[in-house]
Amino acid sequence: MNIPKLSIVASLLLATASFNAAKAQDDKQLLGAGSSFDNPLFTKMFAVYNSTTGVQVNYQSIGSGAGISQLTAKTVDFGASDAPMNGKQDSALSAPAVHIPVTAGAVVLSYNLPEVKQQLQFSPAVLADIFLGNITKWDDAKIAAINKGVKLPSTPILIAHRSDGSGTTNIFTTYLAKVSADWKSKVGAGSAVNWPVGLGGKGNEGVAGLVKQTPGSIGYIELAYAIQNGMPYAKMQNKSGKWINPSIASVTAAANVAIPADTKVSLTNTDAPEGYPISGFSWVVVYKDQNYGGRSKDRATNLVKLLSWMIHDGQKFSNDLNYAPLSAAAVKVGDAQLKSITFGGKPIL
């Protein structure tokens, strides 16, 4: 059968147009993975961004360590982490990456003591002793001494901690290592540690679930998870000796620090008199040059535009979700990082 050449050409053109349209649509579907700390904020940000731009972000809340692993394997466009990448992680990458701070938040101590109506408070020493397993009951004299007037039960303390590699764990253990010599020597700091006691849960969601379901338990979670689940959380004594409630204001105070060009900075055990001491930045990490693995320039541009929107317009969603909006200094350094991102050596922005 003879097929007119015009029909063949038209069919080829139509097929090419369909392929290009599909590819363009694919370039508007970005993949991210990592921090569960960020997930409540990201869920809101990405929904709004999709409604206004058509760019869809599929984000997997699997923990900071897993997010960095997926970025390293180049199976996602970005990883999100509450801990800046360390030297070992940097060396595992096939090319340099950049860190863009996207939010700051509080890691809070949430507990399940239905009979206790007052907000508990912990000093650095008492908190370290609890997580080291040195304090095993809620009515221990050391807890009672800093919670005068609170009728504490004799319930055994059950520790809930992360079972996965976690930036939230990094923030929490970095804090404990700064305030407790015993913790520093026996456990140390990192995204994953050998816990002296307790049960593990995956993600902030997993730890929140353990605490909520288990009377007598205590665990560390991001502030938004505690508030969204109606869970009590403690005040912490900071370096200035003040008892600080975790809040947007106290995290903002802790985040008022000089930020280096690579944006890698710790906020824990802040010197700020009104600062909450277990605070931290969270970052999105991407490859500095986006021309890899057959990626298109359009996809790279969509990614960088998303990140720019997140650190500018997207910050307006922070307050309502109990995250601290980025400071002007953090946005300035983030902008500089975004401007350093290239495609084939040429700046994208």
What is the pLDDT at residue 281? 95
DSSP characters for 127-193? HHHHHHTS--BTT-HHHHHTSTT-----PBPEEEEESS--HHHHHHHHHHHHH-HHHHHHT--SSS-
Q: Average pLDDT in the 75-79 region?
A: 98
Higher pLDDT, 36 or 20: 36
Which of 248, 250, 251, 265 has its CA nearest to residue 334?
Answer: 265
User: Tell me, what DSSP letter sits at residue 240?
Assistant: T
Instruction: Report the mean per-residue pLDDT for the chain.
Output: 93
pLDDT at position 24 is 54
Six-digit token pair at 71?
């970025």
Q: Are 214 and 158 in contact (CB under 8 A)?
A: yes
Give the residue-averaged pLDDT of 182-194.
Answer: 97
Please give the Cα distance from 178 to 183 (Å, whole number): 9
CA 203-205-210 angle, 5° bins: 100
Domains and CATH numbers, the chain: 5-104+280-347 (3.40.190.10), 106-279 (3.40.190.10)
pLDDT of residue 283: 97
For residue 21, the model assigns a pLDDT of 43
Per-residue pLDDT at 22? 43
The answer to whether the CB of 218 falls within 8 A of the CB of 157 is yes
What average pLDDT score do residues 298-327 get?
A: 97
- For residues 175 and 17, which has the higher predicted lDDT (pLDDT)? 175
